[in-house]
Amino acid sequence: MATAAGMGIGAACLAPTMVGTARGSARQPRLGRLQRVRRRCVAELSRDSGGPAPRPLAPAPLVQQPVLPSFLVPAPPPAPTQSPAPAPPPLPDSGVGEVEPDPEGTAEDSIDKTIFVASEQDSEIMDVKEQAQAKVTRNIVFATGEASPYAKSGGLGDVCGSLPIALAARGHRVMVVMPRYMNGALNKNFANAFYTEKHIKIPCFGGEHEVTFFHEYRDSVDWVFVDHPAYHRPGNLYGDNFGAFGDNQFRYTLLCYAACEAPLILELGGYIYGQKCMFVVNDWHASLVPVLLAAKYRPYGVYRDSRSVLVIHNLAHQGVEPASTYPDLGLPPEWYGALEWVFPEWARRHALDKGEAVNFLKGAVVTADRIVTVSQGYSWEVTTAEGGQGLNELLSSRKSVLNGIVNGIDINDWNPSTDKFLPCDYSIDDLSGKAKCKAELQKELSLPIRPDVPLIGFIGRLDYQKGIDLIKLAIPDLMREDIQFVMLGSGDPGFEGWMRSTESDYRDKFRGWVGFSVPVSHRITAGCDILLMPSRFEPCGLNQLYAMQYGTVPVVHGTGGLRDTVENFNPFAEKGEQGTGWAFSPLTIEKMLWALRMAISTYREHKSSWEGLMKRGMSNDFTWDHAASQYEQIFEWAFMDQPYVM
């Protein structure tokens, strides 16, 4: 039998018998020397015979020995007889037994899971503030179209840039797979990624398309970038001034195939992730991953121990293309039903249009083991006809595995006590700096510096979803109040022109900043007393979380994540005052004005109540570590059952 280092490998279809080792066996060599049985089923890989590319590794996390179910605790490995590897590799998946700490700080074998155990003395030495540890670590693979700071167009980039780091800090081994966008402006973001010398040929779209892999190890996460000429072009991530790129289906099909192959072929730190992975697929760009696992891997015995979680950030984008493109995807014909999509008659272009299409996101809804939306409210809305975007019945049928988890915020960037963009720092224990931030913002905007006047702010895109039309209609009534109003954003040219003209009409009360500036957004968030968010729909929303972190009281439309995160103010609760803001519903001008006037009245006439609103908002835990612990529970549930589609 040929060794893996010297044979052509197809689709990384490892025989399941090669995962793990026999109980009681001696320490195994590195995976590059193991004998493997593979079959051709997806792609041809050219592997070099040299050693793995070096990269710095995070120190081994030390925790007290966890109490685990018997089926999760591996047997003790024998004492090592050779010098340790430079980083702690995984322990064997060898059944029941206790794990003894390696005298040299390492133990190695299977990639299924890693459990690090330290002596009591070592645990006392460890700085527990560095990272919260998980009891059982997993191999987690994120597949995404974007991740900050490499490439970002919205909230998806924020999530996939922060959540993997939070999970890695909790002890998991985490990989993020995304395209290597080269458009000139983004090139510098990938400057620290090195070529791994690994490449695969993917059979799709009428031929074999070669992609290569680049890699950067940062913040204890393996950032893997898929490189192909389709990602090298001017414009933004998904299109240019002429609209969306016509080959986006091709571009993200390559991403999905590459995300399935990366855990099996990339020796990151000398060890592959292997077959027992948790795939976290984000939005339609990565939605082909669970379909590939079910259709092209598990029938050959590969990834039978893996699971997949679909994370829906915005259901409005589903990756829908004509049905004639299905053969281009390289999937078996019998799997067409998983992606089949038929438009209703009213949405068809002409009488002869049958409305037949393929829908990437639908394929993931059908095949993923679990489904997560970015808030609990949004997890309910996607099952309704109003918010389900045509997938509501399918999502309702999978309600038992549908959950919502509110996104976190990066407190390194959004923290009023350390924010580099603010003229004065402040905290929940000392709010005096917020008044100074308000005065400096009024000065910067050339507004009268009046501490007694409530300053209302809006930050966001100027489009229909964000409710700008309601703000436009309400401004004449609001300007009769003794208030100040500032807006920051860009988008619809009509709304941009309205902002400029309104500023000239109300010189002492209104300011409209057309465009976007990160420093200005921080100063508005800190300097305003009230943040207005009348969004028609909002899967999660981040600005209301930033506002509460900065002691700015949100007034929002009660939808999606806004309803989940903003608790209505109740001055007559049984245990005293409760709430962090106002969430009004339905979305009408009258309701929005009522909520704003309640906030203005409370600000002016009930200072102690207003301070309570500020402090309750600032004390909420919206950190990514909190969100990561909830994702861990989803992963645990996913592994309790067999794969949803075998």
What residue type is 585 in one-letter code? S
Q: How far is CA 101 from CA 105, 115, 119, 464, 553, in A?
A: 7, 10, 8, 58, 50
Strands (E), 365-410: 370-373, 402-404
Helix (H, G, I), strand (E, B) or coil at 147: strand
pLDDT tens for 402-427 read: 999 999 998 888 999 999 999 999 99
Q: What is the mean pLDDT of residues 139-160?
A: 93
Q: How far is CA 159 from CA 73, 336, 550, 619, 627, in A?
A: 32, 31, 20, 22, 10
pLDDT of res. 456: 98
pLDDT band at 344 (very low <50, low <70, confident <90, very high): confident
Q: What is the mean pLDDT of residues 523-540?
A: 95
Q: What is the mean pLDDT of residues 112-138?
A: 43
**Alpha-carbon distance 336 to 155, whole Å?**
31
Q: What crossing angle do the helices spanning 432-444 and 518-527 adopt, rounded to 10°? A: 130
pLDDT band at 107 (very low <50, low <70, confident <90, very high): very low
**Alpha-carbon distance 101 to 94, whole Å?**
16
pLDDT(241) > 80 = yes
Within 8 A by CB and 6+ apart from 516, the residues are 488, 489, 490
pLDDT of res. 136: 57
Lowest mean pLDDT among 25-29, 74-78, 243-247: 25-29
Encode burial over 124-147: b for 16+ CB neighbours within 10 A, e otherwise: eebeeeebebbebbbbbbbbbbbb
Lowest mean pLDDT among 121-125, 346-350, 468-472: 121-125
pLDDT of res. 12: 40
pLDDT of res. 52: 38
pLDDT of res. 292: 97
**Alpha-carbon distance 614 to 529, whole Å?**
9
Q: Which CATH architecture has domain 431-620?
A: 3-Layer(aba) Sandwich (3.40)
Which of the 8 DSSP states describes residue 102?
Answer: P
pLDDT(17) > 60 = no
> In the chain, where are the structural domains located?
139-408+629-640, 431-620
Lowest mean pLDDT among 98-112, 170-184, 532-546: 98-112
The tokens 């892999």 sit on which residue?
213
pLDDT of res. 135: 54
Encode burial over 81-109: b for 16+ CB neighbours within 10 A, e otherwise: eeeebebbbbbbbbeeeebebbeebbbbb
Query: How many residues comprise the chain?
Result: 646
pLDDT tens for 453-467 read: 999 999 998 999 999
Percentage of residues in the chain with pLDDT exceeding 70?
A: 79
pLDDT(231) > 80 = yes
Residue 138, token pair as written in the block: 């997993």
Q: How far is CA 239 from CA 152, 179, 618, 646, in A?
A: 13, 14, 38, 36
Beta pairing partners, 217 = 222
pLDDT band at 350 (very low <50, low <70, confident <90, very high): confident
Q: What is the mean pLDDT of residues 183-198?
A: 92
Q: What is the pTM of this model?
A: 0.76
pLDDT of res. 355: 86
Lowest mean pLDDT among 122-131, 225-234, 323-332, 598-607: 122-131
Options 2.160.10.10, 3.40.309.10, 3.40.50.300, 3.40.50.2000; CATH of 139-408+629-640: 3.40.50.2000
Same fold, 139-408+629-640 and 431-620: yes
Residue 338, token pair as written in the block: 């998983």
pLDDT of res. 82: 43
pLDDT tens for 20-32 read: 333 333 333 344 4
